[in-house]
Chain A
């Protein structure tokens, strides 16, 4: 009896964390499902049950589909640059013979990840600026003037321009993590391969790639998850325009709920986001299940 009491008292250690996570992370998630079945005007407070009405509207909403498409594009490009590109880059950096240069390069590449997406987004908003922006300026100066255009102002290039900024901002982060993973590979393995006459390219594909496989899987998951939660950079650079061409799920959710005053519809978009991110999270568990996890 006393032992049970003592064990129960031990719960005091975890109560603060449990309460905060329960009330502010889990509870809203459950509520969101309920809200998504309502037609809900936030100003008048009028709520009306519409069942799956918001979801049927969602399926017929072309902007929802284009937003989802933009997230998928985001994910695909980010996987190429921030997973495969970063892995290759990390291996190149490890190939540099000077320890000091290795450190310097890794740190330089990481700087954009340390500054906020807001600063990076604003910075590139100016870089892409059609008249005074350095990008067009440089194009004109080098005789490529016909390539100068309103990067963020036209539907054909706006999304790609945002995604390009995002790669600039994020590749250093994954490169750094891959570098850590590569450093954990025992040097003898590389040494033995070199003695066997395996070239640098062969060493990369035969040793580095298979031995950092776990990190590659995890980075793919993290990148994927992040690509579906994009919000900040789109808000800062285009706010979803021109003509909704750069809307992603996050910004379309925001616009539906907070600008067009339809909270139930926003909640329905959130449910879709939830399903996607949960799917990615389950994939992550599957990737890491081979690792020793002590619950």
Chain B
């Protein structure tokens, strides 16, 4: 293609770049400011908010860590790992049953499981509190594990199911010829073939659980079972005057997911794109 460099075209490009870079600054500067504040003292923070920290010590990070962030982080990691495993496996089983096993009422069951996509967690809040109190699980680790799993099964099943539908039938037939049972076919053949979508769903689930606030706030009032998002607000109210410690806690909470995004960008984007606009 021949490129004609018109004067107007150059001007337009300059403006476009200026806009895109300005926007990048608007996004990055607050995040940079947050990160730097973790290294400041209170006096520095209250003095000039734009100044660089004088002393790059990790004292605030250590303080935040010792004042509860280590507990919040542990809880967050535990809830994230367990509910990710539970959600992805239960969803993969359901997707397999709905797409590759001859079961009665298939359409109805598919609609029932995927229909959960349409429901807002807020709507179920009051009865859920009652239910978990009755089960004796209110304010326990189990409450979050169950909620994060149950409410994400529809979305996760939707993604895995869409992927499994496209796997060729010959695969199942070949497994049957080898005398493999359904269970073996699922574990040995289908699941390995679904690796890309499983990676996507795992990453999306981690992003969701790590950041979830509504359930975490309502169902964990005790400090032993608080996740990072709720723990940060506790940190804020408890050490309201030591802002740099709160900033350090925020960085500790944000860093893992940002890293996760950059490492798994391809899978996250693919999962989102398939989930929303397939």
A residues lining the B interface (CB < 8 Å):
7-8, 10-14, 16-18, 20-29, 31-32, 35, 89, 92-93, 95-96, 105, 107-112, 114-119, 122-124, 126-127, 131-134, 137-138, 168, 172-173, 176-177, 180-181, 191, 194, 200, 214-215, 218-219, 222, 225, 228-229, 231-232, 235-236, 249-250, 253-254, 257-258, 263, 266-267, 270-271, 273-274, 277-278, 281, 284, 291, 294-295
Whether B45 pairs with A137 at a CB distance below 8 angstroms is no
Decide if the interface of chain B is mainly helix, strand, loop or mixed: helix
Measured between beta carbons, the chain A residues less than 8 angstroms from B257 are: 114-116
Contacting residues, chain A, for B101 (C-beta < 8 A): 10, 13
CB proximity to A under 8 Å, residues B1-52? 1, 12, 16-17, 19-20, 23-24, 26-28, 30-31, 33-34, 37, 45-46, 48-50
Whether the Cβ atoms of B1 and A21 lie closer than 8 Å is no
A25 to B261, CA, bound (A): 29
Are B125 and A266 within 8 A (Cβ)? yes
With A16-B90, A20-B149, A180-B277 already in contact, the answer to whether A123 and B30 are too (CB < 8 A) is yes
List A contacts of B277 (CB < 8 A).
Answer: 177, 180-181, 214-215, 218
Chain B residues 105 to 152 lying within 8 A of chain A, measured CB to CB, are 106-107, 109-113, 116-128, 130-131, 146-147, 149-151
How many residues from B make CB contacts under 8 Å with A? 95
In the A-B complex, the 10 residue pairs with the closest CB atoms = A13-B97, A116-B211, A281-B118, A28-B124, A28-B127, A17-B94, A24-B150, A31-B127, A118-B229, A10-B103
Q: B180: CB under 8 A from chain A?
A: no
Point out the residue from A13, A96, A122, A294 that lies within 8 Å of B236, measured CB to CB. Answer: A122
Contact across chains for B250 and A218 when beta carbons are under 8 A apart: no
**Cβ contact within 8 Å between B27 and A11:** no
Name A270's contact: one of B30, B125, B269 (CB within 8 Å): B125
